[in-house]
Each structure stands twice: as structure tokens, then as C-alpha cells.
A and B are shown apart, each in its own frame.
Chain A
Amino acid sequence: MYITSQYCISAQHSSSGFNFSQAPESPAENHFLAIEPPYSFIPVSSLRRMGKLVRMGLGAALPLLQNTTPSAIIMATANAGKDDCVNFLNQIIEYDEGMLTPLNFVQSTPNSLAGQIGLISQNRGYNITHVQLGHAFENALLDAQMWLTDHPETQVLLGAADDLNRYHELYEQKAGWVKAKSEGENNFLDSNTPGSFHGEAATMFMTSLSAKNAILKIAAVEIWDGEDEKDLTDRVERFLTAHHKGASQPVLYSGENGDCRILKYYNLMEKSILDGAKFRYKQACGEFPTSTSFALWLAGESYLQKKWPLTLLKNGTVPDQMENILIYNCYKGIQHSLILVEPV
């Protein structure tokens, strides 16, 4: 499967591509909030009523739909609808189940983004939303691959969106997944304490089985759940033997997020790559369940601009030319994923 175009709204000025020559925008306080572009494709009257996630998701999707009609809209999200959910909960409690307005309720199901994309682009193709938390995007990737295999002449709009609303952030903080600002004064990735800095993004890809005008090829995807460290090492070895065709090591785009409880998996992963370059993409986007969509977009930007994100380098030898990129992420110490991409 190939990516032929992509668009991202994140805490970087990503709507105009990734800036490889400057240090990434630093987190505000202890989180990464998206820099939203002007939404010229969305009617102002609709924009006002939209929650942030739907707005960001549509804002990233519509530019890719200007000249292309995909046969499917396949979305991933873990948090979509949460903001509207809690706003509606507030109404229920505060008005004691009195007369409530339904807008928040209607927008509280996670499929509202995929539904809105279908509605605004008048697309009646396959339309689905995957919500498997830290594996939502990887499952959407598998779905897109299956769909394209069955509909080889068509294209699929594949995307992910998660927003950082105050309620979601509060739940994460209460459950011990958020670092205080003081713990990340220099770099939150090196603080050696539990939790992370959270972030948000909406990332969209037009995908196809044809290499024509492609930015990159998705060579393989593997997902698994568990806490077994030996299993991780074995899987990575098998995965690379089966799928990595390059002569040298792939470059690692690591989802390391500064949580000392999860670091062991990333360290094991680095051992598997040995002397290859290791970049930590969450330094640019923060932690969120569908963060691998940002990593995939960053891989696309790297190939498009033929540059490595040196400002995100952890260690290792940076190759002179474009190489395969291995994206590894471990969400909350349980949900692991590997995505291998190749330049075209």
C-alpha cells in the first residue's frame, strides 16, 4: 500500500509540512496543543458548531479530497466524542435531566468525524471508525489494506484524529499518565518519571495500491498486546527478517514518551536496531493514542523533503540517503505496534 498525499494538523506548523531546519515547537505548559490553520474548506456556519476534533479532522481531510474521490473513508480515534460526551454529561447533571440541547449528544459518538467527512464530500463509500485505543490507527491501516486489495483500482482516505480536551487530560492525569511541567523542564522525554506530556493531532492520508506519485510504501504492519519483553524482541527480529529488504538497519521512529515505566520496551527496541539512527517523534507531537499516524506523516515528510528530523535525534548514525523507517510504539505499556515504511 502506498501513500500518495498527506496532511497533518498538530502542535507543529504541520499543515505546511514539517520544518526540518528548526527545533520543534516546545510544549505549552505540560502538553502539546495543535496549531490550527485557517479552515478555508469548511463553511463558517458549520465550523462554529463543530467540536475541536471534528474541526481538525475535517480540516486535514478536505484538502486531500479536492481532486480525489476515495472508495472508502477509514478513520481511527480513541478520544473522538469525549469532549461532547462530558459537555452533555454536564448538562444532564446540572439541569437535573431537564430540557437539554441534543447537539453534544449527536456529536458524542466517535464516528461523527467519518460521518462529517462523508457528508461534506458527499461520499457514499465504505465508512467506518476504529476506536481500539492505542491500536485504533493500526487497525484502520489493516482495514485500508484489506479494502484496497478488494478494490485495487480505487483510493482510500485513511486518517486518525485525537484531541486533547480538558476532561480527557484530567482523566489521564488522575490515572497517573500525565507528567507535571516541572518534570519536563529540559526535555520531558528524559525526565525518568512516570507519565508523559500529552498532545493532539489530526492526520490524513490518501492511500492506493499504485506506486504512481507515491510518497512512501507501507511495507508491513504488526500489532500485539502484552507485557512480555522476550516476545517483543522475538517479534521484532521475525518482523525485520520477513519484511526489511534494505542492506543497512532501518531508521527508528520511536514512540518513546518519557514514561519511565514503559522505557524498557523502547530500550529493547533500540537494541534490535543496534547502530541505526533513533528519532523520538513525540518530542514534536506529545503522547496520544493514535500518535503513530503522526510518525507515519513524519516519515512521509522525511521522504518528500529528503531530510532526517535531526532535531528529534536520540542517538545512532544518521544515514546519508533515505532508508526504510521502522515506527515502533507502545501505548500504556500494553499495546505495541510496528509499522515498516519504504521510500519509493
Chain B
Amino acid sequence: MSRRIAVTGIGMVSAIGNDVPGHLDSLKQGRTGISQLENFPSRYAGKIPVGEIKINTLILSKELGLNNKGLTRTTLLAMKALREAVVYSALTPEIIASKETAIINANTVGGMCLTDEMYADSRPETPPSPYIPSYSFAATAVFFQKFYGCKGIMNTINTACSSSANSIMYGARLMRAGLAKRALVGGSDSMAKFTINGFNALRILSNAPCRPFDANRNGLNLGEGAAYLVLEWEDDAQEKPIYGYVAGYGNTNDSHHASALSSEGFGPSLAMQMALDSAGIPPKEINYINAHGTATENNDLVESVAMKKIFGEVPPFNSSKCLTGHTLGAAGALEACISLLCLKEQQIFPATGFSQTIPETGLIPETKLTGIPLRYIMSNSFGFGGNCSSLIFSKS
């Protein structure tokens, strides 16, 4: 990869911050966003902790000045993070709308965040709600297109929980193929009765703040959020602050089970190896891994096994999901942004919830704010359907 793709802007919203500075502050302090559900009624409110953004949807739409009927929380969160990213990258509305700008979005369940509205609309006798077009998985990207009048490539990718890692990879590939000069890439998902009940039915929601890579972990905390990155060619970004470079990526399928990873970690290890190969670096060059680390029994063991297989001596690693919760379709992009902040600050941010190593693998995640030279960072994202992706970002 000779000509380099730089990240010239990032935007983030999650339970640990409304913007990038807010995230940086929480990350450095190791301040968790895991709390009790408040924004909508559910029988699990007060029982299952979540990474919820404490801004209700109405206030969010007012703050953004978007009063369009039928906009979902997923789209509003997306708009909030996208706007921040384009401000940092100084992209004008004309540039965003340009034929040379691709916008690649990602989510998991799209409009399913509107559990109750969608249920009502699925009854023949009820009058239509204004949300019907929002049930499409592409609704957020369709809104971006209309809002900015985009003329470039618009796309939405779905690979479940690795969706937005793939939107980053896809944006970079479009640029390398000459189909776009720059790309706005990322993803968004909001807290929903739908996903709470889904993960609960799978019995992988923890009843306490989650504990990635701990021997006694007992499941994940759901989160919500959105994150976007502006990708530009290094030589087009001379005047801009550069957060880091997209150095490599890998995408594979574990081909094992619809909702669990193979115990051998075929998919995760192959994704990491592919990312290393595409970056053209040996494993020892990686200084830190921002792991998928959902804190489910299956993921953390398999990911540990896979990291040991690829790295032998595993570099410093941890999972940000102990702070943000699992933000599903936003997770890949949110954790990519966190990785870029690590590169910028030359610091590894602390993870919470760990006390005892997983006996089979004995790996210890980073729990303290640590300043070390960071040149290459790997970020992992794995999803249902066996979709495993790994990204590598570099400082220079």
C-alpha cells in the first residue's frame, strides 16, 4: 500500500461522551458509561445495565435542528457524529455532496430500534406511522444522501456486529480502486427493546457491568452510539490534522455457527493475519490491540486463543466495551476512533472490570493509562453470521 489513506476527521457519540473531546476525557479516566436504562420503558430497566446516551431522542433532534418526521434515533446519532467528523476535517457541504465523495454507512438492525412503532405498523388495521421508510437498513444513508444532496457512491453495509469495521475497509477499497477521492465511513445503532430482548434470549447479557477478558465474565452490556471517519489521500490532506492512517484490513468468515465463534478461532485469527498481510508488517510491529472483547464467555476465550496463535507473545490489548457497552453496528467505527485517539495521544486507555485471567490463555488486558510509543494499532470486530474483520491503523 504505497499511497497512504489518512484519517483527517473523526466524530463520536456514545455513553462515554457526546463528542471526541468528551470521549478522550472519559477514556483517559477510565470512566464507564454503563448505567441503568432510562430512555424508554422495558421490563429490563433497572435489571440489566447498558451503555446508554443520556440525551432523549426529542432533545437530540432539537439540538441537531432536525425536525423531519420519521427520523430514528439511529439516524440522529449518526448525524451528530458525522457532523463532528466533517467539522474536524473541514469538509464543506459542497465537498460532501461531490461526486468524488463516497459515504459508506453501517448498522445492524436499522429501524428496528423503533420496536413498538414497527409492531403497530405490522398490523393491517393501524394507520401508517411516519416511520415506515425508516425501517429500511439503508434509512440513515438515504437520509444523508437527501440532506447533503450527495452525488457520489452511497452504500450501507451489514455484517452484524462487524458492520462498521467493514464500512471503513470498503471506503478505503473504493479509494484505492479510484471510485472515490475521499470517503466518509462509519456506523450507528441505538438502544432498542429489540436488541435487548434478542441478546437476552441468547443469554449473553450480563446483569452487572461487563468484564472483558476476565475469568468470571458473564456476558456483554449493550450500548448505543455512532462514529464516523473521514478518509482522504495523504497528499490531499497536507493542511489538515491527521489522526492516523488506514494501514491494513482483513475480512473473513469463521464458517462455524450463526451466533458463536469456533473454539479454534479460525475467523478471528484469519482476519488478523489478513490485516497484517495487507499492511505488509509482521505481528511484532503491532503495539496495541483494541480487541472485540464483548465479555461473553465465547468471544473473549476465542479471541484470546486467536491472538496467541497470531502473535505468540500478545502485545498490550484490552476492550473498550467495558466503558461504552457493545454498540453493535457502530462498534467497529467507534473502536477505530478510539484506536486513532490512542495513536494521537500515544497512550493506551485503561479498561475496567478485569481481575482474574482466563485460565486457558492467561492473558492480562491493560487496566492502567499507559504511555508507550504506539506506531501500529489493530482493531478487531466480529459478528453474527461468522463475519470477522480486523483493521490496522498507523501513526505515520
Measured CB to CB, the residues of A under 8 A from B are: 73, 78, 81-82, 85-86, 88-93, 96-97, 99-102, 105-112, 114-116, 118-119, 121-133, 135-136, 139, 142-143, 145-146, 149, 167, 170-171, 174-175, 223-226, 334
Contact = CB atoms under 8 A, between A and B. Distances in A.
Nearest to B173: A146
A106 B259 contact: yes
Q: How large is the interface on B (under 10, 10 to 19, 20 to 34, 35 or more residues)?
A: 35 or more
29 contacts: A78-B138, A82-B135, A85-B109, A86-B119, A88-B197, A92-B197, A97-B193, A100-B200, A105-B198, A106-B259, A109-B160, A111-B384, A112-B385, A115-B386, A118-B253, A119-B253, A119-B256, A119-B258, A119-B386, A125-B253, A128-B159, A129-B158, A129-B159, A132-B154, A135-B154, A142-B174, A143-B173, A146-B177, A170-B124
A125 B270 CA distance: 10
Contact of B253 (A91, A109, A124, A175): A124
A118 B266 CA distance: 13
B115 A89 contact: yes
Nearest to B328: A109
A171 B121 contact: yes
A99 B200 CA distance: 9
Contacts of B170: 128, 143
Nearest to B43: A97
B201 interface: yes
B137 A110 contact: yes
B184 to A, nearest CB: 14
Contacts of B30: none
Interface in B75-115: 108-109, 112, 115
Interface string B371-384: 00000000000011
Nearest to A86: B122
A142 to B, nearest CB: 7
A123 B138 contact: no
A130 B386 contact: no
Contacts of B153: 139, 142, 223
Contacts of A109: 108-109, 158, 160, 383-385
A131 B158 contact: yes
A133 B255 contact: no
Contacts of B122: 86, 89-90, 167, 170-171
A85 B48 CA distance: 22
B139 to A, nearest CB: 8
A132 B127 CA distance: 27
Contacts of B159: 111, 114, 127-129
